Amino acid sequence: MLADLLRTTDSLKATKRQLQAADREAAEGRVCVEPYRQDNARLCQELSALHEQLSAAAEKHQADTKELRADVRRLTDENEDLRFLCGQYRKQADAAEQRLFALLEKQPQPLASVTVTGERPAGSQRGRRQRLDISSHLDSSRPSANSTGRSLAESGRGQADRHTIDLVTAAEQRVADLEQQRDAAEEAREAAEAAAEELRDKVSAREAEISRLNGLLQGGRPQHAVLADSDGKENAPTRSNVPYTELKKANARLEKKLKEAVHTQHEAMQRAVQLAQKNEALKRELDDLDEIVHALDRDRDQAVLSKQQQLQNERSRAEETVQELGAAAARAERQTAELAAARDRLADTESELSAERRRREQIETELAAARQAAASHETVLQTLRADRQEAQRRLDKIAENEKQLVLELDRLSRQKTNKVRMPEKTQKLIEGLEEQRDYFKTQVEELLEQLEKRDVSAASLHAEEAAETGMSATEAAGLRADLSDCRRQLDDCRRELEQCRRQLLCRTDESEQLRRRLDEALCSLHRLSDSQASATMTSTAQLEGLLHTMERTMEQERSLASGDCKRLEHERNELRSRLKVATETQLAERVKQEARIAELEALIGAAETDRTVQRSEAASQRALIVSLEAQMKGLQDTLSESQTELSRVLAKNNKMKTFVSRGESSLKDCENQLIKKTGELEACLQELQAVQRQCADLRRAQEEAQREARRQTKVIEQLVRERDKFQNTVDDKTELLDEHRQQLEKCNAHIVQLESTVTNVAADLAASREQVSELEKELRSTRRKLEAAEAQVGSSDRHRGAVTEENRRLQQDLTTLTRELQQMKKEREEAGRLQEELRQQVREYVNEVARVEELLGIREEERNDLLRQYKNLTVEASGLEETNHTLDSEVTLLRSEVAARDAELEHARETITLLNEDIQQTSVARQQADISASRLNESLSGLEARLQQAEADRDRLDRELAACRDLSCKLDSQRQTLSRELADRDRELERLRSESRTQQTELQTVRQQLTSERATCQNLESLLASSRGQQYESDMTSQQQTAELGRLSERVSALQSELEAQKVETGLYRAQAADKDVELDRYKRQIVSERFEKERLSQELRRLRRETVLSTSAPLLPGTGRSPTGHDLGGSPTGVTTRLFSSTAETSSSFRRHTDGSPSGPG
C-alpha cells in the first residue's frame, strides 16, 4: 500500500510537471506560429491578387486576339477589293491610252501647236515615283462645247499617260509586296500569340504550384497528405499499443509471482512470530508517515488558503469591473436618454420644417396664381396699347383728312368766279365740322390720359404681385377675389373700348362719305367754273340751285352728326364715371394689398429668424450627437476591455476551481485510502514482524525488477516515438519527393516549350530576313523599272517643262528610296543584334497589345481613306468613259466638218486656246496625283515602321521568356525552402494539436460571451444607425430648405428686375406722353392758325362776293366786253378769278409756311 501511495504521488507530480511543460510548449508554439500565420495570410492575399490580375490579363489578351483576327480578316477582304479596283482602273487606263493614241494620230496639227510649252535640258530630268492618291482628274462643271478641244489635249498627253500607267503597275507591285510583308507580319504575330499562349499555360502551371504552396503555408498540407498523416496517427497508437500489451502481459506474470510471494510471506508471517522488533520499526515508520501526512495537510491547508485569498481578490476585482460596467451601462442609458431627447427635438424641428415647407408650397401656389394674373394684366395692357396705337393712327388719318379738306376748300375758294357765292349754311357746316374735330381731339386726349393711368395701375399690380410672395391662404383668397373684380372691370373697360372703336369707325365712315360728297361738289364746281366762259348768266341760277341742294344735304348730315355727337358725349360721360369708380376701387385695393404685403414681410422675417434659430439648434444637436457618439465609442472600447478582462478572470477562476476541486478530491481519496490502510496495517503488524526480513529481500528484488521494467518501458517508448517520427518524416519526404518530381517534370516540359518558342522565334527571324532579302530584290527590280521609265519619259517628254519637274520629283523619291533601303539594311543589322535581346521583353508584351490596337485603328482609318480614294477613282473612271464616248462622237463630227468645210479651222483655232486651259488643268491634276503618290509613300513608310515594331515585339517576347525562366528557377528554390519550412511546421503542428483540444472549451465560453457582446454591439449600432439616419434626414431637410430659400430669393430678384424694367418702360411711356403733349400743343396752334386763315378766307370770299355783286350790277361795254369799273376790279371776270387764285395761293403758301415752321409762330 505504501508503494501504491508513493507511486500515486509520483504520478501526480509527474502529471503536474507534464502539464506545466505542455503549457510552456503551447505558449512557445503560439508565439512561434503567429508570424507564420501572418505571413501565410499575407501570401494568400498577394496570391489571390496575382491570380485575379493574371485572369484579367488572360481575358483581355483573348479579347484582343479575337479583335486582331477580325481586323486581319477585314483587312484581307478590303485588300482583295482594292486589288480588283486597281485592275479595273488599269484596264480603263489602257483603253483611254489607246483612244488617246488614235486621236493623236488623227489630229497632228493641234498637237504641234500645243506641245511647245517649254523645254529643259535632259540632264535635269530625274525620275520620281508616282502614287495613286487622286482626288479628281476631271472638272465636272466644264461645258460640253469644249469637248472637241479636250479630245485633242488628251491626244497630246498620250505619252505622259503611258508613264502614269507604268507607275500604276509599279504601285500595284509595291502593294503586292506590302501585302506579302503584312502576311509575314501576321504569321509572326500568330507565332507570337502561340508563344504567349504557351506562356499563359506556364503561368497557369505556376499559379497551380503557388496555390499548392499557399495551401501548405495556410496552416496545413494538401488534403491527401493530411489524410495520410491522420491515418498514420491513428495507426500509431495501435503500433505503440503492441509493446504496451507485451509489457502488460509481463506485468501480469510478475503480479502472479508477487501474489505467490505474498502468499508465501503470509505463511511465513504466520510462522514467524519473532519479528516483533521489526514491527516496532514499522510503528516508527508509521509515525513518520503520520508526520508526513500532517505536513501534507498543513501544506494543503496553506495552499487552499492562498487559493481562497486569490479567489477573493479575483472576486473583488470582478465586482469592481461589474460596478464599472454598471456605471458604464448607466452612462450609456443616460446617453441613450439624451439621444432620445435629441431625437425628439429633431422630430419637432422636422415637424416645424414640414410646416414651413407647406407654407412655402402655399406661397408658391399663390405666386403662380399672381404670376398668371400678372400675365393676364400684361395681355390686357398689350391690347390697350394696341387700341391706343390704332386710335392714334385713326386720329392721324382724321387730321390728314381735315388738312386735305382745308386744302380743297382753299382750292375751291381760289377757283370761284365772281358769280360763285359761298352760302352761310356751308360755312356753318364747316364750323360744325371743325367743332367736331376739336371734340374728337379732346376725347383722344382724355383716352390717352386714361391709358397712362392704366399703365401706372398695371405697374402697381406688378409690384403687388412681386410683394405677394409671402401671403397666407386667407390673404391669397382675398387677393383672388380682388383679381376677379379687377378682371370684371377690365372686361367692362374692354367692352366700352370696343364700343368706342365701333363709334369711331362709324364716324370715320361718315367723314369719308362727307369727303366723297365734297369731292363731288368740288368736281361739280370745277365743271361749273369751266362752263362759266360760255354762259355766265345762265350758270348763276344753276350754281345757286346746286348750292341750295348742297346746303340741304350738308344740313341733313350736320343734324345727323350732331345727334351722333350728342350720343357720343353721353357715352363719354358714362365711360368717365365708370373709369372714376374703377380707379377709386383700384386705389383702395392697392392700399389693402400694401398692408397685406407689409404683414407678409413681417411673417417672412419671423420665419427667417425661426429658421436661423432652428439651424443653430440643429448644429448644437449635431455637435451633441458627435460628442455622444465619441463617448459611446469610448464606452464600447472600455466595455470590450472590461469584458475581455472579465473573460480572463473567469477563465482563471474556473481553472483554479477545477484545480482546487481536483486537489480536494485527490486529498479525500488519499485520506480514505490512508484510513483503510492504517486499519489493515494495525491488523498486519503482528504478521509483518515475523516476515520483515523476507519482505525486505523481496522488496529489494521487486524494486530492482520494477526499475528494470520502467527503464525498459521508457526505452521502448522512446524507440516507438523515434520510429513513428522516422516513419512520418519518411512519409513526408516521399510525398515531397513525389511533388518535386512532378514539379521537375512540369519545369522540364515548360523548358521544352520555351525552347520550342525560341526555335519558332528564330525561324520567324530567319523568315523575316528572307523577306527583307526578297524586298531588296524587289526594290532592285523596281529601280530597274524606274530607270527604264526614266529613259522612256526622257525620250518622250523632253519638249515639256512640267515633265522635267515630275522627273525631279521622281529622282527625289528615288533618293528617299535609297535612304529607306539603307535604313532597312541598318534595321536588319539591328534586328540581328536585337535577336539576343528578345528574351527580356516578354513583360512588355501586354502593354504593347494596346499599341497594336491603336495601330489597327490607324490601319482602319488608312484603309477607309484608300477605299474613298478608290471610290473616287472609280467615279473618275466612269467619267472618263463618258468623256471618251463624247469624244468619239465629237471626233466623228470633226471628221464630217473637216471634210465638208475649211471654215471650221478657225473654230478649231479657237478651241486650241480652250485646250491650253485644259492642259493647265491636267497639269494641276498631275500635281494632285503626285501629292497622292507622296501620301502612298508615307503609308508605305508607316507599314514598314509597323513591321519594325512587330520585330521589336518579338524581341520583347524573348526577353520575357528569359525572365520567366529566371522566375521558374527562383520558384524552384523557393519551393525547396518552403518544403523545409513545411516540415518544421508539421512538427510544430503535432505539438499544437494537443493544445487545441484544451483551448476549444475556452473558445466555446469565449464564443458565448462574444455572441452576447455582439448582440449588445448590434443593438448599439442599430441605435447609432437610427440616430445617424435621423441626422442625415435633418441635414437633407435643412439643405432642401436652404435650396428653396435660394430659389425664392432668385425669384424675388427676378421680380425686382421685372419691376425695374417696367419702371423703365413707364418712364419711356411718360416721355412719349410728354412728346404727345408737345405735339398736341403744336396741333392746337395749327388749328388756331387754320381758324385764322379760315376767317381771312371768309373775309376774302365776302369781298369777292361784293365785287361780284358790283360787277353784275354795272352795265357792260358793247364792243369790248368790259365794265366801266373794270379797270379797278381787274377788267373782266377772268381777271377777278385770276386775282382770287393768286390771293388763295398766297394764303395757302402762308398756311404751309406756318405749318412747316416752328410752333412758336404767329398762331
Place of cell 525552347: 755
Q: How far apart are CA 1047 and CA 1044, in angstroms?
A: 5
- Residue 860: all three cell numbers together: 482602319
DSSP state letter for 840: T
Q: What is the predicted pLDDT for the residue at 886? A: 75
Same domain for 920 and 1045, yes or no, is no
**Domain boundary, last residue among 991, 1024, 1053:** 991
Q: Is it the case that residue 986 has pLDDT exceeding 70?
A: yes
Could you tell me if 793 and 916 lie in one domain?
yes
pLDDT band at residue 801 under the 50/70/90 scheme: low
- The pLDDT value recorded for residue 1132 is 42
Question: What average pLDDT does the segment 472-481 reach?
Answer: 58
Quick one: pLDDT at residue 1158?
A: 40
Cα–Cα distances in angstroms (integers) from residue 985 to residues 24, 978, 980, 989, in the given order: 18, 10, 9, 6
Has residue 139 got a pLDDT over 50?
A: no
* C-alpha span between 929 and 135 (Å, rounded): 8
Q: Which residues contact 945 (CB under 8 A, 6 or more apart)?
A: none
pLDDT grade, residue 424 (50/70/90)?
Answer: low
Query: Over 60: is that where the pLDDT of 619 sits?
Result: yes
Look at residue 1099 and tell me whether its pLDDT is greater than 70.
Answer: yes
Task: Please state, in angstroms and as integers, the Cα–Cα distance from residue 937 to each residue in 816, 828, 1048, 1072, following that order.
Answer: 10, 21, 68, 76
1086 and 966 in one domain? no
Query: Please, which pLDDT band fits residue 90 given cuts at 50, 70 and 90?
Result: confident
Q: What is the dihedral of CA 218, 224, 229, 232, to 10 degrees?
A: 170
pLDDT digits (tens, 9 = 90+) for 339-397: 777 677 777 767 777 777 787 777 777 777 767 766 776 677 677 777 767 767 777 77
Confidence at residue 81, expressed as pLDDT on a 0 to 100 scale: 81
Q: Given this model, what pLDDT does residue 895 score? A: 67
Q: Which amino acid is at 784?
A: R
Position 550 scores a pLDDT of 62
How many independent structural domains does the chain possess?
A: 2
pLDDT at 218: 55
Residue 117 confidence (pLDDT): 41
Q: Establish how many alpha carbons lie within 13 A of residue 728's alpha carbon, considering only the half-sphere containing its beta carbon.
A: 22
Cell of 880: 472618263
pLDDT at 547 over 70: no
Q: Is residue 648 part of a domain?
A: no
Inter-CA distances, 662 with 1, 304, 1098, Å: 22, 12, 155
Q: How far is CA 79 from CA 173, 810, 860, in A?
A: 13, 26, 12
* More confident position, 554 or 819: 819
Sequence-separated contacts (24+) of 83-88 with Cβ below 8 Å = 83/172, 83/175, 85/870, 85/873, 85/874, 86/132, 86/168, 86/172, 86/175, 86/870, 88/874, 88/877
| pLDDT, tens digit, 9 for 90 and up, residues 25-69 | 888 878 877 877 787 888 888 888 888 888 888 888 888 888 888
> Is the predicted pLDDT of residue 931 greater than 50, yes or no?
yes
Domain that holds residue 153: 1-117+149-242+699-991
Tell me phi and psi for residue 539, to 5 degrees.
-75, -25
Do 704 and 853 reside in the same domain of the chain? yes
CA separation, residue 370 to residues 475, 607, 662 (Å): 12, 22, 94
Higher per-residue confidence, 917 vs 224 = 917
Per-residue confidence (pLDDT) for residue 1113, from 0 to 100:
56
Residues 230 and 369 in one domain: no
pLDDT for 23: 86
Cell digits of residue 594: 400694401
pLDDT score of 774: 78
pLDDT in tens, 564-602: 667 766 776 776 677 677 777 767 777 777 777 777 777
Residue 501 contacts residue 387 (beta carbons within 8 Å): yes
Q: Which one, of 827, 1067, 1092, lies nearest residue 947 by Cα? A: 827
pTM: 0.21
Of 870, 865, 911, 910, nearest to 887 (Cα)? 911
Q: Are 1024 and 629 in contact (CB under 8 A)?
A: yes
How many angstroms separate the CA atoms of 464 and 434, rounded?
Answer: 45
Same domain for 961 and 1089? no
Range from 129-133, 431-435, 490-494 that averages highest in pLDDT: 431-435
Residue 282 falls inside a structural domain:
no
**What's the one-letter identity of residue 1160?**
S
What is the structure's pLDDT at 845? 64
Residue 257 domain-assigned (yes or no): no
> Quick one: pLDDT at residue 1121?
39
Identify the weakest region by mean pLDDT among 235-249, 403-417, 744-758: 235-249
- pLDDT at 1124 (0 to 100): 37
Burial of 149 (0-12, 13-18, 19+ CB in 10 A): buried
Domain boundary among 933, 960, 991: 991
Mean per-residue pLDDT, 701-718: 74
Does pLDDT of 506 surpass 60?
yes
Same domain, 185 and 71: yes
For residues 986 and 1053, membership in a common domain is answered with no
Indicate the SS3 state at residue 141: coil
Angle between helices 904-1113 and 158-217 (to 10 degrees): 90
**Are residues 986 and 1092 both part of a single domain?**
no
1048 & 973 share domain? no
Q: What is the pLDDT of residues 891-918, one digit of tens each?
A: 777 666 666 666 666 766 676 777 777 7
Contacts 24+ apart (CB under 8 A), 574-578: 575/496, 575/500, 576/446, 578/492, 578/493, 578/496
Q: In the predicted model, what is the mean pLDDT of residues 999-1013? A: 73
Q: Would the pLDDT of 114 be above 50?
A: no
Q: 346, 1030 in Cβ contact below 8 A?
A: yes
279 assigned to some structural domain:
no
> What integer is the mean pLDDT of 947-954?
76
Residue 1145 has pLDDT above 60, yes or no: no
Burial class (CB in 10 A: 0-12, 13-18, 19+), 374: buried
Q: Are 753 and 202 in contact (CB under 8 A)?
A: yes
C-alpha span between 367 and 471 (Å, rounded): 9
* d(C-alpha 670, C-alpha 1018), whole Å: 52
More confident position, 467 or 13: 13
Closest CA to 998 of 8, 29, 11: 29
Torsion over CA: 1035, 1039, 1040, 1045 (sign): positive
pLDDT tens-digit readout, 841-859: 656 766 666 677 777 778 7
Taking the C-alpha atoms of residue 346 and residue 1071, their distance in angstroms, rounded to an integer, is 58
H or E element in which residue 1020 lies = helix 904-1113
Query: What pLDDT does residue 282 have?
Result: 67
Burial bucket for residue 810 (CB in 10 Å: 0-12, 13-18, 19+): buried
What share of the chain has pLDDT > 90, as a percent? 0
pLDDT at 229 exceeding the cut of 60: no
How far is 716 from 722, CA to CA, in rounded Å?
10
Block residue for cell numbers 401706372: 456
Side chain identity at residue 751, one-letter code? I
In this structure, the answer to whether residues 894 and 969 fall within a common structural domain is: yes
Q: Has residue 13 been placed in a domain?
A: yes
Q: Identify whether 343 is part of a domain.
A: no
Most confident option among 16-30, 313-327, 760-774: 16-30
Domain boundary among 931, 964, 991: 991
Residue 517 lies in a domain: yes
Residue-level pLDDT at 627: 73
The string of DSSP codes covering 695-755 is HHHHHHHHHHHHHHHHHHHHHHHHHHHHHHHHHHHHHHHHHHHHHHHHHHHHHHHHHHHHH
Written as one letter, the residue type at 263 is H
Residues in CB range of 247: below 8 A, 6 or more apart: 709, 712, 713, 716
Q: What average pLDDT does the chain have? A: 69
Q: Is the residue at 682 inside a domain?
A: no
Residue 421's alpha-carbon distances to 301, 553, 1129, in angstroms, are 167, 17, 17
Residue with cell 511647245: 116
pLDDT (0 to 100) of residue 227: 55
- Tell me the pLDDT band of 418, cut-offs 50, 70 and 90: very low
Contact between 422 and 1101 (Cβ < 8 Å): yes
Question: 434 and 501, same structural domain?
Answer: yes
